[in-house]
Structure 1
Amino acid sequence: MDATAFYVAGEPAHGTDEVTVTHPYDGRTVGRTTWAEPDQVEAAVAAAAAVADEAAALPAHVRAKALDHVSRRIAERRQEIAELITAENGKPVKWALVEADRAVSVFRWAAEEARRFAGGLQRLDTDPGGTGRIAVVKRVPRGPVLGISPFNFPLNLVAHKVAPALAVGAPIVLKPAPATPLTALLLGSILAETDLPAGIFSVLPVPNDRASGLVTDPRLPIVSFTGSGPVGAEIRRAAPDKHVTLELGGNAAVLICGDYAGDEDLAWAAQRVATFGTYQAGQSCIAVQRVYVHEGLDLLPRLTEAVGALHTGDPSDPAVEVGPMISEDAARRVEAWVDEAVAAGATVVTGGKRDGATYPPTILTGVPADAKVVAEEVFGPVLVVSEVPSDEAGFTAINDSAYGLQAGVFTHDIQTAFAAHRQLKVGGVIVGDVPSYRADQMPYGGVKGSGVGREGVASAMEDYTEPRVMVLTGVEL
């Protein structure tokens, strides 16, 4: 099995030390690559800095054409890409296909945004001193971007770094997650098919303990990181003078409100919570974790039945909905957190028995509020169900968290919906569904320990650029 090339300034390259990528489900080897050498990292950063002015001056149609090409090629290679995601990540192929489709949309959106990213005019004659003056405001790239992506969405979260950067004409150096580099390298091969100038992109497998030099390098003034809170905090401390965007996860909560009491309502809520508390084996920043149910609603039996009906097993089976976690160590951590909650008085309603890297869909009740499975991000297929006496108490419980990414509120009442939007300290409120819903074009990000800045193509383009004003004098309006 030949080692897959990585990309230095748009050109394929190999290092010396080999990286073997194994399947989380059965441990078999699925591919190999190599770590980028220090001189290759330096070459990639130097090339990004050198091409920055040329990239910023690229006509919109050139950037859009390249992004359209990437979107089209991902669509053409959809099945191949999904199978690779499944092989290196363990994600069921059902969800890997969804991820590939989302990446198609991300690059398509970026192409469209590149065409209309035009700035604007601002009249200044609102005061006497501004008579005859008008401001032209356009946004220009801050400079090359360092993108650091996680393992759980090895294509789509890479797309959310790369596509906005190329859309605004900013070079990007991408560091994919060490556990899942192969999908990012495949994307690199598609980018290499475009006519973009050399140096505008690099895809570098680099061990985490060698990434600090990239974070602090002044030639990369933007850092876009998705991953764990402690690492995000280290990045902010290490790069206080850079423009840093962080998507750091959360412990997403959902509230089933008092008016959501019909049989069809509860069946819908149970099915959605079961599915999106366990999809990606719970390894999603907005996977449902905390479930607050208005007292008197008979949700738990329905939820237990829906969780029990989920298909688990080999993720290459199209019928499987819940596969393994990224590693056995990750599954052991979830197991330890659940065992700790049980020792503190929690009850396991279903699940709770680890099998290698697979942790089954699990429901807990009676969990103390300070247990890790409530207070921290479990990042596994675990649902903690608690009753609340009122909707307001539910809002309070959701806010009682160090995180604030997204929340779901099941209600038909428009006043309750607006109250949730007003009161919940999160980046997004999803009404009538789980917090796991995300449209890739909408602003996406959180507050508190969930990070700073927003993803979503247009929002990231704003983050990667800054306004530059030109004032014209002596203009008759």
Structure 2
Amino acid sequence: MLSQTYPYYLANRPVAANCDLAVTDKYSGDVATRVAFADADAMREAIGRASDARAAMAAFPPDARRDVLEHCVRRFGERQDELAMALCIEAGKPIKDARGEVARLIDTFRIAAGEATRIDGDVIELQVSPRTRGYRGMVKRVPVGACAFITPFNFPLNLVAHKVAPAIAAGCPFVLKPAAKTPIGALIIGGILSETDLPEGAFSILPCSNDDAGLLVEDPRIALLSFTGGMVGWELKARAGRKRVTLELGGNAACIVDADPGQSLDAIVARLVSGAYYQSGQSCISVQRILAHADIHAQLCDKLRAAIAALRMGDPRDEDVFIGPMIDVDAATRVQDWIDAAIAAGATLLAGGKRDGAFVAPSLLANVPRDCDLYRKEAFGPVACIESFVDFDDAIARVNDSDFGLQAGVFSGSLAHAMRAWDRLEVGGVIVGDVPSFRVDNMPYGGVKGSGIGREGIASAIADMTEPRLLVIRDRPD
């Protein structure tokens, strides 16, 4: 069960300002709890307090940052059942998947704890000509300062962790705006952070309106903005001024299944079904486009239909449920509309295609015209498109025929094809032997084209949250 109310956190301290934000149980639609909702004044104060905490956070020793992160790891482990149930309720995430996200939350903070004490520098050889003899150069990395984080609804724990944990490891104070539909996980994290000895003002976690979140984007005291969400991210970048900006804006991930896929079709089907329909497809690297070689296309379609039919849809608290509700009825209606439009344009429905409230049955369509929204845009729902190809280079070209480029998957027993995919696919990551939905929390993660700029993954995020500072020493002249 959830707490009756949740405070927000301003400069490390809980504030029970009001109970204006209702958080619904995404399965029943009932109000599950209420959380404090920050206004513009609270946001301005949080930004000011984070800016004031820059020096204290930079001076906070690396081993103390590590200890804070390790404290979080311990406390997340002690509260993992509570965290998983909160996810299940606020996001409609099946309980097995919710437990998996809690495990990733713990992993992410554990990785960050290890990185906190190895943010190293370099010694530079400056004696490159007679005029520079006697000079020595060294570089260390220092925190950029106050950071602003805006996170979406679909991974309320782990996407928060990928911003918060590296900020602590790097020594950056931050202000976080979690998604209004799923703020509980972030506020539980805030409660655990408030148990530590982080410097005053080191963090604020404020559910608030999108308008008030604009203060995070435009305030010059913020040194870095990290946004995960939709295409509005490009508008935020344009408004951000001189601050650093990292964006993860989604995709319509493709997966190639070669004539010789390198493993059994049954194993591939299991991975494709997981990648396409896990948490109702509400993942930016969900499998949306499947390109199957003509030699195996028909067989793969038959196996996918059978596997999809076996997926159970229902109450996400049920241990056997694989498909829970989408985040709301509007999101489900949009996916249904895109499916209907694709069928009207000539696509063939192989599975699913029906909606019931916020539930969309896991759906598979063949030969979706390439100008349809279902093919071109990010579906962000439990639906995938499948098409056949003959030439591997043509398959690569079709994957690249997209405004997005986050990750792509390739099933191929050909090393030459795998390497060609790595060379030519216009994406941030190529996953060979698995679906594009695969992610480990220490790997560089991000995209190209419309999918964003910059990389997450703890070490990559720390690099973004720090900057090099040069020291040059001239030896005393003779």
TM-score, normalization by structure 1:
0.97
* Partner residue, 2:356: 355
**Counterparts of 1:353 and 1:106 in 2: how far apart (Å)?**
37
Give 1:352 deviation, angstroms: 0.6
Q: Which runs of 4+ in 1 moved over 4 A?
A: none
Which is worse superposed, 336-345 or 39-48? Answer: 39-48
Aligned AA (1:155): L
SS in 1 for 2:235: helix
SS in 1 for 2:469: strand
Aligned AA (1:422): D
SS in 1 for 2:374: helix
* 1:237-263 deviation digits (Å, cap 9, x = unpaired): 1113210000000000000012227xx
Q: Is the 8 A contact 1:15 1:37 kept in 2?
A: no
* Partner residue, 2:141: 139
Identity %: 48
* 1:357-389 deviation digits (Å, cap 9, x = unpaired): 010110001210011010000000101000011
Give 1:14 deviation, angstroms: 2.4
**Counterparts of 1:85 and 1:431 in 2: how far apart (Å)?**
30
Aligned AA (1:293): A
**Counterparts of 2:306 and 2:394 in 1: how far apart (Å)?**
27
Q: Is the 8 A contact 1:258 1:391 kept in 2?
A: no
* Partner residue, 2:303: 302
SS in 2 for 1:299: helix
* Partner residue, 1:236: 237
Q: Is the 8 A contact 1:17 1:34 kept in 2?
A: yes
SS in 1 for 2:117: helix
* Partner residue, 1:316: 317
* Partner residue, 2:427: 426
SS in 2 for 1:408: strand
* Partner residue, 2:388: 387
* Partner residue, 2:193: 191
SS in 1 for 2:264: helix
* Partner residue, 1:66: 68
* Partner residue, 2:407: 406
Give 1:17 deviation, angstroms: 5.7
In the alignment, structure 1 segments of 5+ residues that lack a partner are none
Q: Is the 8 A contact 1:14 1:36 kept in 2?
A: no
Aligned AA (2:61): P
* 1:14-41 deviation digits (Å, cap 9, x = unpaired): 2346111111111122111121122222
* Partner residue, 1:287: 286
Give 1:130 deviation, angstroms: 3.0
User: How large is the RMSD of aligned CA atoms in angstroms?
Assistant: 1.3
Q: Is the 8 A contact 1:409 1:432 kept in 2?
A: yes
Q: Is the 8 A contact 1:417 1:431 kept in 2?
A: yes
SS in 2 for 1:345: coil
**Counterparts of 1:391 and 1:458 in 2: how far apart (Å)?**
34
Q: Is the 8 A contact 1:258 1:390 kept in 2?
A: no
**Counterparts of 1:196 and 1:210 in 2: how far apart (Å)?**
26
Q: Is the 8 A contact 1:176 1:203 kept in 2?
A: yes
Give 1:129 deviation, angstroms: 3.1
SS in 2 for 1:211: helix
Q: Is the 8 A contact 2:220 2:241 kept in 1?
A: no
* Partner residue, 1:369: 370
* Partner residue, 1:211: 213
* 1:415-436 deviation digits (Å, cap 9, x = unpaired): 1111000000000000000000
Q: Is the 8 A contact 2:218 2:241 kept in 1?
A: no
**Counterparts of 2:130 and 2:389 in 1: how far apart (Å)?**
59
* Partner residue, 1:107: 109
